[in-house]
Every structure is written in structure tokens, then in C-alpha cells.
Structure 1
């Protein structure tokens, strides 16, 4: 049964040291920012985080990085986070970089009870052959390297074996949820959120709007409540923009203007 919590702090209060977390979102889109902030305000440390990336400096998972609360990250890219890159290159953080589609399928497979699967992504690269630096030493040497992965040929093509991912907890963000845990995600915020939710043994969802069961059209539900254990209504959070870009446009004189400045 899904339990409704009155605050994000209450919802994450029992997450212990060295817990593993699957965290939804992509960049700053669809991230469970209130849950992450509440976790950063707590004491849990040595966390093992699985997420597409690790937020940005000062936002999202970047808050936990700044407080040195993350021990290991499994992600597809570093992104716009200088502190993430610094900790990794200085040997303070273990990082497993994996192809983005592979990461998504590892989470989905974990939630579906599939222990491993074969994929062509990474064949013929260090992803398959091993040797990718997971952790650097203080002198810049590779202290921990990725292992080689099993490969097989199917129908004349080579594939490598990837293991699925399950975690102790999942933190996700949804636009709308009901008290039974059924969730609806907004547009691109659907990204990694359903996959992370499936992979977590205990899924905690922050929702902008909380409704009673029966309000949501079943055909509109993106993630059924069977995957969700806790729900907290955090309202609409301030949306941060990872990288602002503005398209050029023509003014009335026909001259091109960018950001309101004639060019």
C-alpha cells in the first residue's frame, strides 16, 4: 500500500548510510529536487547513486556532491557539473559511465526481474573490453578499472552482456499522482523517472499535484502504483534551466535581433 507523507524530509528520513539510490530526471528536467534537498539536509552519507547524470553545481544531485555524501555514481555522462568532474578526476568519487540506452535498459530490466541482457552497444570499445577508469588514485593513476564483459555472437553479430540494476531506494518526480501511487509525468520529465521507480525496492515519489484514487484516467497513467511505496505532495518547484539558449528572430525592420540586441 502506498503511504502519503506530509513532507519530503519525512519521506526520506529512514534512508541510511551507504544506501543505493536510483534517481529520476535528465539534467535538471524532471528531477526529484525536493527529495534530494531533504536528503542533503539529513545525515545519510556514502551513497551509491544511479542516475542519468548528477545534476549541476548547486542543484539536484549536485547538492549531495558538494557535501561529499556520494561514494559512487553510475551515470551516462558528467554533464554541466564541474564538481562532479573534479571529484572524479581527483579520485574522490567512483564513477561508472555507461551508454545512455544501456543504463535505461539496466534499470528497466532490474524492475522487470531480468538479471542481465545482451546488447550491441559498446562492443569493440573499453565498455566491453574493460579498463575504463572507475576511480583514479591521488597521483592520477587508475586505482579501479572496469572489468571486461562477456560477449557472444548472435545471427552473425556480436553482443555484450550487461547486468540489470536494482537499488535500495528510488527517488522520482511526477506532475500528478494519486494516493494509491499512480503517477503521470509531464512530457520530457517522463525520461528516466519510470525506469528509476521500477528499479528501487522502495520508491519515493514527489508529486506537484496529489489527487484521490479514481480521478486519474487509467489510460493516462504512466506508472502504476504497484511500483510506488511513498508519495509526498511538494507542489510545483522552481524550475532551474541547465543551459539557456535563445533563437535569433527578425524585428520589424527585417534586421536580425538576438536577445533583443540588433545584430
Structure 2
């Protein structure tokens, strides 16, 4: 391995929407020696879904799918840009796309990215959460998202396709891409209690702009089960894929135990 001055262990490119502030906030919790994170943004044109609903008369599900369609065309440019930094791994800092269409859609989407990046390693939210849940031996899960119903339906489809029983999904249905990061702490806590049940083995949070890294580690102690923020799952997967096995305390059981 080439001996880089500041990134002797890993240079990780992070692909994020232009509206996203949650991923970088969470990454600042992981200042590991010899590891550097390199965000590359792709343009989000359709940012306010509530306004689009009011303007077009379309329902929120149709508008959200339009948002994803526009986003798909922009992602390759952000990937191209960060590849010019000679990064050694790519981590996708958006999650809805990685769940869309269930397992089949996930495989297709990941392959499109792999076709562009070649032999460089890849981390996506869907794959990272699946591997994390498998580490804990979870069978029945609940999920918190910032999405409208169509987003929740695709999350349910993905996790069902890969063999998990989904007890409940709480979609917070945020009105815009930026409003996801403005979700109140109370709304997140209420959602945790709403989706929890004695037979639920783990709770997953989707939506990378919805940072829960300050809340979920505490609630793991309160509820006595794993709570997995998607940004923590992708950080864990990216680090482990790069051969970095540091156990990190204070950011949840996943990074402490596996």
C-alpha cells in the first residue's frame, strides 16, 4: 500500500446530496488517525417536496419518486469528481436509492456504481445495515425514516426480500430535503418508542440527513437492543472494508463490538 502522509490507512470518498448536512456532522465524530473522509456533493434540484405537491397537485409519493429520478442523473458526476482524488473506497451518503426496488433494485443500483468505480470498494446504506443486523443476529426489526409512504414501502420491501421480519416502519414524512436535518429530537424519540416492541430485535434509522448518532447509543442502554443509525452502519462497513478494525466507544454497539 502506498504510504500517504495524512491518510496512511484509508482515503474514503463520500457521495452526498447537495442538501445533506447530516453525513458530514456524523463523520466529524470519527477522526481516526490515518483515515480521511472526502465528501463529494451531487446537485439536488427538487429540494422542497411540499412546495412541489402544492404547485403540481401531485401526491407526495409521486413527488418523492420524481426527486429520486432527478437525483439518479446527478450521482455519476459526484462519483467522477471524487475519483480524481485517488480515493481507495467509496461510501454512499444517501440511502433511499439503495433500498429502492427491494433487493433487485439494490443490486441493480450498486452495479451501476461499480461499473463506474471499477475495483474500488463500495459501501451503501442497504448493504451496510444488512451486514450490521446479521452481526447482531437480528430477525425482527423496526425502522425509522424521514420518507413519505412510498419510501417506507421500499424499505419494507428491501428488508423483507433479504429475510427480515419488519414489525413497523415510522415515516416522519419530512417536507423537504433540508427539513430532514431539522427534525426535532422529540420527534425522533417519539418514533423510537412508537416502533419498539419486546419482540423487536433491533431498530434501524434510514435517511442519511437524519442524524441520530447523538441519540441512538443512549437508547441502546434504555431499550437493551441495538439501534443502528444508517450513517454509523456505513462508517462501520467502510472502515472494516478498508481493513480498519478499531473498536470505537461512545458511538454505539456496532462499532464497539464488531
In the superposition, the TM-score normalised over structure 2's length comes to 0.28
Structure index of larger Rg: 1
User: Structure 1 or 2: larger helix share?
Assistant: 2
